Structure 1
Amino acid sequence: MVFGAADMRPSLPAPQLYDSSNNRGRGRRAATRRNSRPARFPRGTVRRGHPCVTFLNGPPSPTVEARGRRIGARVPETCDVVIIGGGVIGCAIAHRLAARGTSVVLVDAGQRLGLGASDGAMGGILTQTEPSCLGPLSSVIKRSRDVYPQWLEEIRADSGVEVPVLDGGDIQVALDEAEMERLESKVLPQWKNSPFAVERLTAADARNLEPLLSERVVGGFLLPEELALDPRVLMAALTTAVLSGRTPIRVLSAVRATGLRTGPHGVEVDLHDGRRVSAEQAVVAAGHLSGTFLPSHRAHLFPIKGVAFDVRPPGAVTYPLRHHVFAEIKQDGREYFPYLVPRHDGRVAVGVTYEENVGDVTVTAAAIEEIRRGVAALMPKAATWPIGRRWAGLRPGSADHMPILGHVDDHGRVVAATGHSGLGVTLAPVTAELVAALVGGTAGARESELLAVCRPDRPFPPAPVPPAPLPPTPPVSPPPTVR
């Protein structure tokens, strides 16, 4: 059965091999933890009866030093699991599988891991802010939030990289009585029915928590269990863990998967240079491009463009806010959704736009102005802070705004792990846990209950059509730009 076709994007550079054992010192120390061992390079046979090993990148390259021994920088074309996609979801799954001793080949088209939606994420670990958190997905969200501290500790243990986490919660405020009434009558009942806490705030309460909030704030709510982190730091830690030397993972970057075939005895993934990877199972975690390999779900998956930028208050060297802050604002006949997420190094990530079925990553002046106008209403001082990095990312959207997790082929060989929309960073730990249970055949009652929420064979509504271009936004006085 064919599960994909060639991607017509421009050709990529020659494949780059990242050998997870080529990390002096770290692999030996890590191997003592949890009775694990350094990854081994099979020379003639591989696990589970695979007959032979050939070289994914051609003949062996010159040998390199690794942990005091000489090895050939080679990658077997056969493994237990091949993962398509090296964002936060693909890397989290690879890390979890490898901890169980599963050999993994991770294929990613980027020059390095995590250059897609993960690189453009805002970094909120959301439990209630997103509407999709409040329906059937709430049980999955709860599990992910519960295991998040342990997951970060496991990554730190394997990478040596600490991921700073802001644990003050999220403040959602109203700038007029109409919005406060909407929150109290329509949103608050859903928050109360979720497994997470919520606290009502007066205007004075809100400004006491965040003194820079606008004088227009009339009230709001604190969602104390929401967290925030820098996704780029998370990806740096997760990538280091994946390549730490204790994990049986082979990473192929700048390598584009072009097709996926499945049968009763395994799967094959075609690469853009004509080579292929054979495995017992495949996981498709390719973000908004996952439909290339999942024809039955191609119509249900689409990109959601988001533009954001960061600012830095003068002199800030640590968190400039104590919470991440969100509001829905109606003014000038338009709607704005300003969202501010403080970073541990003094920056504040500011966003974000939401354009369904838009697949380009151009940062437009109209999008920047839309964000800045919302921020000026919510936190006027923040609208004057110098702008640093600007970016656009493509969230992997699904037609019902929930992830697609589970087997999608008749042989039980292909697992979809996609469609997380804006919740990829939030759901990475539980996604890795559930996919590992599926691949290993160890899903119990708890895992099965959570997987049922995200099952691929559920009915989907129609996917959205591309929106009209953003109309011009009335400008506000621009802040200086950091060059």
Structure 2
Amino acid sequence: MSEFLIVGGGVIGMMTTLQLADAGHSVTLVERRCCGQEASWAGGGIVSPLYPWRYGPAVSRLSRWSEGFYPELALRLREESGVDPEYRQKGLLYLRVEDEARALEWAREEGKRLERVDADFLYAREPQAAPGFQEALWMPTLGSIRNPRLVSSLRTRLAAMPRVTLHEEVEVTGFEVAGGRVLAVQTTRGDLAGGQVVVSGGAWAAGLLETLGVALPVRPVKGQMILFKAPPGLVQRVVLMDGRYVIPRADGRVLAGSTLEECGFDKTTDAEARASLRASATAIIPALADCEVEHHWAGLRPGSPDGVPFIGAVPGIDNLHVNAGHYRNGLVLAPASTRLLVDRLLGREPILDPTPYALEGRC
């Protein structure tokens, strides 16, 4: 029996496993598919909420801590796994921001670099941006990471760690509970036991806890994205306009996203969304109209009230914990939210006040 059993092998589950194993503990990670193939793979990889000033302090605190952690994490994973997560810190350009005054006020309050720039600045940095803009907002510190490579590097690193046991293609069906403790996690391949159990199942977390009579307000929210096969250098940095964005990769490919759809666990794609995403992308970077749409996919975000994740102990069950409900910011908040939970699990001083994320009083 491992000291810790993690249910859900997305970026939250894998980062939790990595930190616990780094601290010298044995960890078993159980994933219903292959690790990192759901929302962690499907997202865009921007290491910031899209419009950070529109979130409350609970999300902002996690985001601020995580953003500073990613350069170090990416370097470590590249060295230890041989897979480069392709962290790029080239900034973000905001076009047509309706609440610009609030954004600049937020930046002053938070000590965050965000400034209004003129057309010369905009087109010097992004020559292919849509013409006609007289100004933009510029956040020079923003980074992005190639999330499929991030999850691949995390999985590769975990698979090489002797204290980590990975169970993939294994679905959790329930929990055996007695005396206020989880005795075993029931799966399609038999029961598994762990001293402490963490549910980090993303959009599926609510269904897992429902088997215990715990009503976790986390729901799936579909997001569709497309990928352009573009020449290297066409787009240099993340550009955001009217809630849609383009994200360049090192090989020239450009992601464009994303939709927000309330349709349960349906992950099908459709022509209407594809056309809408293409129209948004070409409105930001007109030259993308000449590029092939190479791929179109959908993922399921774990939606939660106000986008504030649930991080901490499940009331009434001594050894059960949850880390889920990050909505659009799972990858953004993953380093801080996993560190916060691991601090609690190991009895360390937490990096942040855990109160806003507790389940008690919110479920």
Instruction: Indicate yes or no: 2:23 matched with 1:100.
Output: yes
Instruction: Indicate yes or no: 2:143 matched with 1:240.
Output: no
CA distance in 2: counterparts of 1:410 and 1:319, whole angstroms: 54
Instruction: Indicate yes or no: 2:165 matched with 1:250.
Output: yes
Contact 1:127–1:225 (CA under 8 A) maintained in structure 2: no
Once the 2 structures are TM-superposed, how far is the Cα of residue 189 of structure 1 from its aligned partner? 2.1
Instruction: Indicate yes or no: 2:321 matched with 1:415.
Output: yes
Contact 1:128–1:134 (CA under 8 A) maintained in structure 2: no
Corresponding position of 2:272:
366
Corresponding position of 2:351:
447
Corresponding position of 1:163:
85
- Counterparts of 1:328-339 in structure 2 under 5 Å? 328=242, 337-339=243-245
- Counterparts of 1:292-311 in structure 2 under 5 Å? 292-295=207-210, 298=215, 300-311=217-228
- Counterparts of 1:117-136 in structure 2 under 5 Å? 117-126=39-48, 129-130=51-52, 133=55, 135-136=57-58
Structure 1 stretches of 4+ moved >6 Å: none
Instruction: Indicate yes or no: 2:6 matched with 1:83.
Output: yes
Corresponding position of 1:376:
282
Once the 2 structures are TM-superposed, how far is the Cα of residue 319 of structure 1 from its aligned partner? 4.9
Once the 2 structures are TM-superposed, how far is the Cα of residue 377 of structure 1 from its aligned partner? 1.9
> Which secondary structure state, in structure 2, belongs to the residue aligned with residue 81 of structure 1?
strand
> Which secondary structure state, in structure 1, belongs to the residue aligned with residue 14 of structure 2?
helix
Instruction: Indicate yes or no: 2:132 matched with 1:216.
Output: yes
CA distance in 2: counterparts of 1:405 and 1:239, whole angstroms: 22
**Deviation digits for residues 81-109 of structure 1 (CA, Å, limit 9, x no counterpart):** 11111111111111111111211111111
Corresponding position of 1:272:
188
Stretches of structure 2 lacking an aligned partner (at least 5 in a row): none
* Residue identity in the other structure for 1:347: R
Once the 2 structures are TM-superposed, how far is the Cα of residue 133 of structure 1 from its aligned partner? 4.4
Corresponding position of 1:457:
360
> Which secondary structure state, in structure 1, belongs to the residue aligned with residue 25 of structure 2?
coil
Stretches of structure 1 lacking an aligned partner (at least 5 in a row): 1-77, 329-336, 461-483
Once the 2 structures are TM-superposed, how far is the Cα of residue 265 of structure 1 from its aligned partner? 5.5
Contact 2:53–2:102 (CA under 8 A) maintained in structure 1: no
More displaced stretch, 186-195 vs 410-419? 186-195
Aligned residue-pair number = 360
1:187 equivalent among 103, 107, 110: 103
Corresponding position of 1:63:
none
> Which secondary structure state, in structure 1, belongs to the residue aligned with residue 307 of structure 2?
coil
Once the 2 structures are TM-superposed, how far is the Cα of residue 191 of structure 1 from its aligned partner? 3.2
Instruction: Indicate yes or no: 2:251 matched with 1:345.
Output: yes
Give TM-score, length-normalised by structure 1.
Answer: 0.70
CA distance in 1: counterparts of 2:28 and 2:70, whole angstroms: 25
**Deviation digits for residues 145-198 of structure 1 (CA, Å, limit 9, x no counterpart):** 122222223323431322222111111111xxxx5xx23233332333234210
Contact 2:49–2:329 (CA under 8 A) maintained in structure 1: no
Once the 2 structures are TM-superposed, how far is the Cα of residue 321 of structure 1 from its aligned partner? 2.2
Contact 2:59–2:307 (CA under 8 A) maintained in structure 1: no
Q: 1:143 to 1:381 in 2, by over 3 A?
A: same
Q: 1:247 to 1:141 in 2, by over 3 A?
A: farther
**Deviation digits for residues 225-245 of structure 1 (CA, Å, limit 9, x no counterpart):** 21111111111110100101x
> Which secondary structure state, in structure 2, belongs to the residue aligned with residue 222 of structure 1?
strand
Q: Which has the higher helix share?
A: 2
Q: 1:300 to 1:120 in 2, by over 3 A?
A: same
CA distance in 2: counterparts of 1:426 and 1:364, whole angstroms: 27
* Residue identity in the other structure for 1:455: A
Q: 1:147 to 1:255 in 2, by over 3 A?
A: same
CA distance in 2: counterparts of 1:113 and 1:459, whole angstroms: 29
CA distance in 2: counterparts of 1:202 and 1:302, whole angstroms: 41
1:389 equivalent among 291, 295, 298: 295
Contact 2:81–2:157 (CA under 8 A) maintained in structure 1: yes
CA distance in 2: counterparts of 1:279 and 1:127, whole angstroms: 34
Root-mean-square deviation (CA), in Å? 2.0
Corresponding position of 2:60:
138
Once the 2 structures are TM-superposed, how far is the Cα of residue 351 of structure 1 from its aligned partner? 1.1
Q: 1:195 to 1:403 in 2, by over 3 A?
A: farther
CA distance in 2: counterparts of 1:289 and 1:265, whole angstroms: 21
**Deviation digits for residues 311-341 of structure 1 (CA, Å, limit 9, x no counterpart):** 122xx2x45422101011xxxxxxxx32100
Once the 2 structures are TM-superposed, how far is the Cα of residue 123 of structure 1 from its aligned partner? 0.8
Once the 2 structures are TM-superposed, how far is the Cα of residue 433 of structure 1 from its aligned partner? 1.3
Instruction: Indicate yes or no: 2:239 matched with 1:325.
Output: yes
> Which secondary structure state, in structure 1, belongs to the residue aligned with residue 37 of structure 2?
coil
CA distance in 2: counterparts of 1:319 and 1:343, whole angstroms: 9
CA distance in 2: counterparts of 1:436 and 1:298, whole angstroms: 23
Corresponding position of 1:17:
none
Give the % identical residues. 25
